[in-house]
Chain A
Amino acid sequence: MKRLPLDPPNRLGVDTFGEEVLAFTGEEICTRAMTTSTTIAENGGRTEVSARCVVSIRGVTKSFGATRAVDRVDLDLHAGEVHALVGENGAGKSTLMRVLAGFHSDYSGTIALDGEQTQILHPRQAQALGIALVHQELSLLPEMTVAENIFLGREPYGTIPGVISRPAMEERSRTLFRELGIQLDAAARVDRLSIAERQLVEIVKGVSANPRVLIFDEPTSSLTYHETRELFRVIKGLTAKGTAVVYISHKLDEIFAVAHRVTVLRDGARVASAPVAAWTHARLVNAMVGRDLSALFPHTPSAPGEIRLEVRNLTRRGAFRAISFHVRAREVVGLYGLIGSGRTSLADALFGITPADAGEILVDGEPVAVRSPGRALAHGIAMAPEDRRARGLVPMLSVKINMSLSALAALTQGGFIARSRELDAVERLIARLSVRAASHSQEVMMLSGGNQQKVVLARALMVGPKVLILDEPTRGIDVVAKAEVHATIDDLARQGLAVLMISSELPEILGMSDRVLVMRDGAIVGEIARGEASEERLVAVAAGVAESSA
């Protein structure tokens, strides 16, 4: 089960493609920048970068028990520069940044801010030093307004001493929105906002402290294409003001779009660090994984078979209306749309989580009534839901129990579970999906995101479905797991399954689908064949812009 040992990480980063630029140690760069304080044009002249070294991390190590999550890492962050941190899940990116943001006081090594050595012991101290971490949207208080969340813990007082002034808070929030070019209602309660809007609130909260260093950890995992572009614009504005930005992401396209410099971590150690111009997709993946990766988007076009899933005029008030489409055997149909377009509601209706009000669902030509997930499964429709932590997994239970949960009816005799048959089925799927777990009895929560996703997928497969619905099948999982999940999807389609795949990731939709359905405002507004699909076209249709303008 244990993975083969990887190449030993090279402190100088000269391992995989050994370019001269990678041979700089962080120290050299920082020292040079500090002493000369010149403005140099790196990045192929794309951006003028002021190279004042804001943060200089040297030999930082952080262990959890016997595991070294961060292992003697050097890192420099420069004013006005976007520094991307990439690596597989567990490579230590987030832990390193949490050290910088004061969440782990028990690290070793040194951190210097503007040349001054500092021991960062707790988050408040890090904030006072001008280091801000943009959290996932989960850290907002849903009952409070946008402005109250932004100024939580440092509320401005009004004219009456000691009394918080709501108008002052909202006014200052609006000023921030203007500066950043964001459309948000400062007085709106956070629980009324979309996930993307909440993410923006988190960002504004980070920016509002006027930090020297702003850290983004997977900021776009719940953002659409357009919202991501918006975020990049905001980031450019910040760098123009001289903020040093750290950008953690799995999405390599984004790295190339926004970063000036890229540092790759693997198994807690720094593998390489270089200006973005020195990298290509393949080199990044190679550095992250330590070996070449076969195709990220395997696709085996094959002759589609008979219609397995057909949907006629499906409607649910307030979510979607008059949806008609079909998916054939051996076909992967992509479903694309902005958040709020109704695509997840549609998937929930097809699987009976929130049943439709009207319309028909047919499986293999037979009309089926899908009033609950249990009924959907009985009719051969399985789903791997969107948010695996909230809706996919029972965290404290084992891999085995999570996998077999939907298939127990078939594995039960007289109310009792046939344990050996269950175990056979589980082991087969563990092998087939290359789930990396210590054993089938390991708690599913202890697995990496990619392996958790495979468990969710395995559960859907164990019932032997005819139709498989995948909602964001690779969100937030690392590149190796992503490739494996994609290979599995391709394999399943080849074996005759009808697959409906929802994704916000355009490369995934384009790479994996035979056809793409596009939703907007609760209706299907376009169907694009594989050969004709492009990112621009999908985005244009999804946003309701005339196709010619794309």
Chain B
Amino acid sequence: MSSVLPGGPARGHVSVAAALRDYGIYLALILLIAYFSIRVPEFRTAENALLILLQVSVIGVIAIGMTFTIITAGIDLSVGSLLAVAGVMSGVFAQKDPMFSNIALALSLPILIGLLGGAINGLVIAWAGVNALIVTLGTLTAYRGFVVWYRVNPIYDLQPYYSVIGQGAVGPVPIPVLILIFMAVVAAIVLNFTRFGRYVYAVGGNREAARAAGINVELVTFAVYVISGFCVGVAALIFTSRLMAAQAISGQGFELQAIAAAVVGGASLFGGRGRISNTIVGALIMGVLFNGFVMLDVPAPIQQMAIGVIIIAAVWLDGILRKRRR
């Protein structure tokens, strides 16, 4: 309120609140892990820890891209449908004889399709200026329609090499977990240490101010959807390889899980706020809940209620901690 600076005690108050705001979610994760560890002995094993990481790898990778779009005050609802397109296209070639060209296509096509799908979203959102929610709601339907039309029956009998990405491991660590960690680290570096990262925050925080600061707002907007599409492509590769089958109905509802991970991690749907590390923790919270509940044999409807309540509570708490600082 006052133009006079906050003094010693006031500053302490601010920093505690700031720490809670930024790291409260870590506390929530630790509490959940502690709870399940006490209730289920098998939960607190290295094997299970790796399993949880494996299980969140697909949503985690998608949520990384989603975090970029959410920071720019956008959203990408098309991720689930795009994942199905990328997965089926990958499957088509993963089923064929393991010649070099087929292998190359099976591995690169999902990424290229992800980039293409993201670029379509980004073009319309950035330069045609249509609201991101509307555009990606449209492509959510359109991409799904395309893949069901293209191939309604599952593609299975994929070549054995293809299972390495989703089912292989380096030592005890599954490859999807390594991919997730690698992508999260790269994304965090991009957001925190590069000019582009700064621009992403600025565009989301105040579009007009970003423009007036000399930022090419359209290009930044376009880029985040391409990044989201890229992440979807990688996730599609993991997902398809994990199941060793590609289905046109895959990925339904993934957009909501990815958004939930980012929002539970403190990303603001109004833009300007969000961290990759917190998004990953958000995804882990969901993963721990799923794994813990299944091990505890909690019925699905109760799981759903608990997860819903936890999402709302996390965002509500976030709002309170934010307000406290005013």
Contacts and interface: CB of A to CB of B under 8 A. Distances in A.
Whether A and B touch (Cβ < 8 Å) is answered with: yes
A120 B210 CA distance: 42
A3 B5 contact: yes
B3 A67 contact: no
Interface stretch (A9-17, A328-336, A408-416): A408-416
A89 B201 CA distance: 29
Contacts of A351: 212
A373 B212 contact: yes
A530 B6 CA distance: 42
B116 interface: no
Given A374-B214, A409-B195, A392 B209 contact: yes
Contacts of A69: 1-2
Nearest to B15: A438
5 contacts: A67-B1, A391-B206, A395-B205, A401-B202, A436-B5
Contacts of A341: none
A90 B6 CA distance: 13
Contacts of B7: 2
Contacts, number: 120
A1 B202 contact: no
Interface of B: 1-7, 9-11, 13-14, 193-196, 198-199, 201-202, 205-206, 208-216, 268, 272-273, 324-326
Contacts of A524: none
A38 B272 CA distance: 59
A397 B201 contact: yes
B324 to A, nearest CB: 8
Contact of B272 (A383, A397, A436, A446): A397
B3 A374 contact: no
A417 interface: yes
B127 to A, nearest CB: 14
B198 A408 contact: yes
Given A64-B1, A417-B195, A438-B11, A396 B272 contact: yes
**Which range holds the interface residue count of chain A?**
35 or more
Contact of B195 (A374, A395, A412): A412
A459 B198 CA distance: 14
Contacts of A92: 1
A405 interface: yes
A298 B270 CA distance: 42
A401 B198 contact: yes
A195 to B, nearest CB: 16
A397 B13 contact: no
B5 A383 contact: no
A433 interface: no
A406 interface: yes
B2 A90 contact: yes
A170 interface: no
Nearest to A69: B1
Interface string A388-402: 001111111100010
A417 B212 contact: no
Interface in A402-452: 404-406, 408-409, 412, 415-417, 419, 436-438, 446, 448, 450-451
A95 interface: yes
Given A3-B4, A390-B209, A480-B3, 16 more contacts: A65-B13, A65-B324, A67-B10, A267-B4, A268-B2, A373-B214, A385-B212, A390-B208, A392-B212, A396-B273, A397-B272, A406-B214, A412-B195, A415-B196, A416-B193, A419-B193
B3 to A, nearest CB: 4
Contacts of A397: 201-202, 205, 272
A67 B216 contact: no
Given A395-B272, A401-B198, A417-B193, A2 B214 contact: no
Nearest to B272: A396
In order of increasing CB-CB distance, the 7 nearest A-B pairs are A394-B205, A448-B3, A90-B2, A374-B214, A405-B213, A377-B214, A373-B214
A3 B14 CA distance: 19
Given A69-B1, A393-B209, A478-B3, A405 B198 contact: yes
A258 B209 CA distance: 36
B198 A89 contact: no
Contacts of B214: 372-374, 376-377, 405-406, 463
A66 interface: yes
Interface of A: 1-3, 64-67, 69, 88-90, 92, 95, 267-268, 351, 353, 372-374, 376-377, 383, 385, 390-397, 401, 404-406, 408-409, 412, 415-417, 419, 436-438, 446, 448, 450-451, 459, 463, 478, 480-481
A417 B194 contact: yes
A391 B209 contact: yes
Most buried by B among A2, A450, A451: A2
Contact of A394 (B10, B194, B210): B210
A372 B212 contact: no
Contact of A90 (B4, B10, B273): B4
A184 B326 CA distance: 38
Nearest to B202: A394
Contacts of B205: 394-397
A405 B4 contact: no
Most buried by A among B193, B212, B272, B273: B212
A408 B130 CA distance: 29
Contacts of B208: 390-391
Contacts of A463: 214
Contact of A66 (B5, B13, B210): B13
A397 B3 CA distance: 19
B2 A67 contact: yes
Contact of A267 (B2, B198, B210, B325): B2
A448 B193 CA distance: 28
A393 B216 contact: no
A142 B235 CA distance: 44
A409 B215 CA distance: 10
A257 B209 CA distance: 36
B71 to A, nearest CB: 11
B202 A415 contact: no
Nearest to B190: A415
A2 B13 CA distance: 17
Nearest to A376: B214
Contacts of B211: 353, 373
Nearest to B189: A416
A392 B315 CA distance: 28
B195 A391 contact: no
Given A383-B212, A451-B3, A66 B202 contact: no
A90 B1 contact: yes
